[in-house]
Amino acid sequence: MSAVAMDDTATSEDSGLLARLRQGDAAAFEVLVRTHGGRMMSVALRMMRNETDAQDIVQEAFLSAFKALPQFSGQSLLSTWLHRIVINAALMKLRSRQRKPESSIEDLLPCFKSDGHRADVATDWSASAEEVMQQAETRQFVRQCIDRLPESYRTVLVLRDLEDLSTAETAALLAVSVDLIKTRLHRARQALRTLLEHHFQPA
C-alpha cells in the first residue's frame, strides 16, 4: 500500500473513531487507549526518568485529550494530536518539580587549543542519538547517558532528536528563543557524544 493510501486509510479511521468519541461511545475510548496508549507511554518514558512518572503522564494526557475533544478540529491525525498532548503533559510535570541547581555540562564539552584545533582526539563515529537509540543492544546504555545530561539540555535533545520536533516547535513549547534551543541542542549532542565515546571506541 502506498504512503498516500495509508494516510487516507488512517484519516478515514480517525474520522470514524473521532465521531464515536464525540458521541461519548465508551468502546471508542477503549479503542483510543488500546491503539495509542503504547506509543504515548514510549514518548512519556523518553521525556521522564522513570516508569511511574511516565504512567502518570499518559493518564493525564488522556484526560486532557478527552476534555479537549470538542476543540479538536480533526485536521491532523489523532496520533499527532495525542503526541503533542503527552509532550505538553510531560513538560508541565517537569516544570512543577522543585527546581534544583543543574550540574555543569562543561566537563563533557570538547576542549580546544588556542589555534582552534581540538585538544583531545575525537572518536570517529557520527551516529545521531536517534540512530543509536534504534540499536537494541545499545538502547539502554544510551538512555542512561541521556539521563545523565542536565535537565535543560536533556529535554531539548529528546524533543529535537527523539521526538522529531522542529527547532521552532521546541522553542515554543519551552518558551525560549530559537537561538537558545540551537545552542542547547549543539551542546547536548556534544556532551552525549563524550559520554558515548568510550563505548564506541574500537577495541
* Residue 8 and residue 78 share a domain: yes
102 part of a folded domain: no
Mind listing the pLDDT tens digit for each residue in 170-202?
999 999 999 999 999 999 999 998 888 766 665
In the chain the first and final C-alpha atoms are separated, in Å, by 44
* Residue 152 and residue 88 share a domain: no
> Between the CA of residue 94 and those of 41, 43, 98, 114, 160, what are the distances in Å?
16, 14, 9, 39, 17
Enter the pTM of the model.
0.75
Q: Who's near 167: CB < 8 A, 6+ residues apart? A: 160, 178, 181, 182, 185
Question: Considering 96, 126, 149, which residue would you say is the last residue of a domain?
Answer: 96
Question: Considering 71, 96, 121, which residue would you say is the last residue of a domain?
Answer: 96
Cα–Cα distance measured from residue 203 to residue 192, given in angstroms and rounded to the nearest whole number: 20
* Residue 88 and residue 33 share a domain: yes
pLDDT at position 64 = 95
> Between the CA of residue 81 and those of 14, 58, 160, 171, what are the distances in Å?
11, 13, 17, 18
* Residue 120 and residue 83 share a domain: no
φ and ψ at residue 20, rounded to 5 degrees: -65, -40
* Residue 70 and residue 120 share a domain: no
pLDDT at position 97 = 75
Number of domains, the chain: 2
Model confidence band, residue 5 (pLDDT cutoffs 50, 70, 90): very low
Q: Which of 77, 86, 68, 87 is nearest to 169 (CA)?
A: 87
* Residue 52 and residue 128 share a domain: no
Instruction: Give the domain CATH number at 186.
Output: 1.10.10.10
Model confidence band, residue 12 (pLDDT cutoffs 50, 70, 90): low
* Residue 172 and residue 148 share a domain: yes
* Residue 141 and residue 92 share a domain: no
Instruction: Give the domain CATH number at 64.
Output: 1.10.1740.10
Q: What does the longest C-alpha to C-alpha distance in the chain come to? A: 68
Give the range of the structural domain holding residue 69, as residue numbers without chain letter. 3-96
* Residue 132 and residue 193 share a domain: yes
Whether the CB-CB separation of 150 and 105 falls below 8 Å is answered with yes
171 part of a folded domain: yes
Coil, helix or strand at residue 147: helix
Mind listing the pLDDT tens digit for each residue in 133-160?
556 567 788 888 899 899 999 999 999 9
Whether the CB-CB separation of 162 and 87 falls below 8 Å is answered with no
106 part of a folded domain: no
* Residue 152 and residue 117 share a domain: yes
Question: Considering 68, 96, 124, which residue would you say is the last residue of a domain?
Answer: 96
Q: Is the pLDDT of residue 85 over 50?
A: yes
Mind listing the pLDDT tens digit for each residue in 27-79?
999 999 999 999 999 999 999 988 999 999 999 999 999 999 988 887 888 99
* Residue 124 and residue 180 share a domain: yes
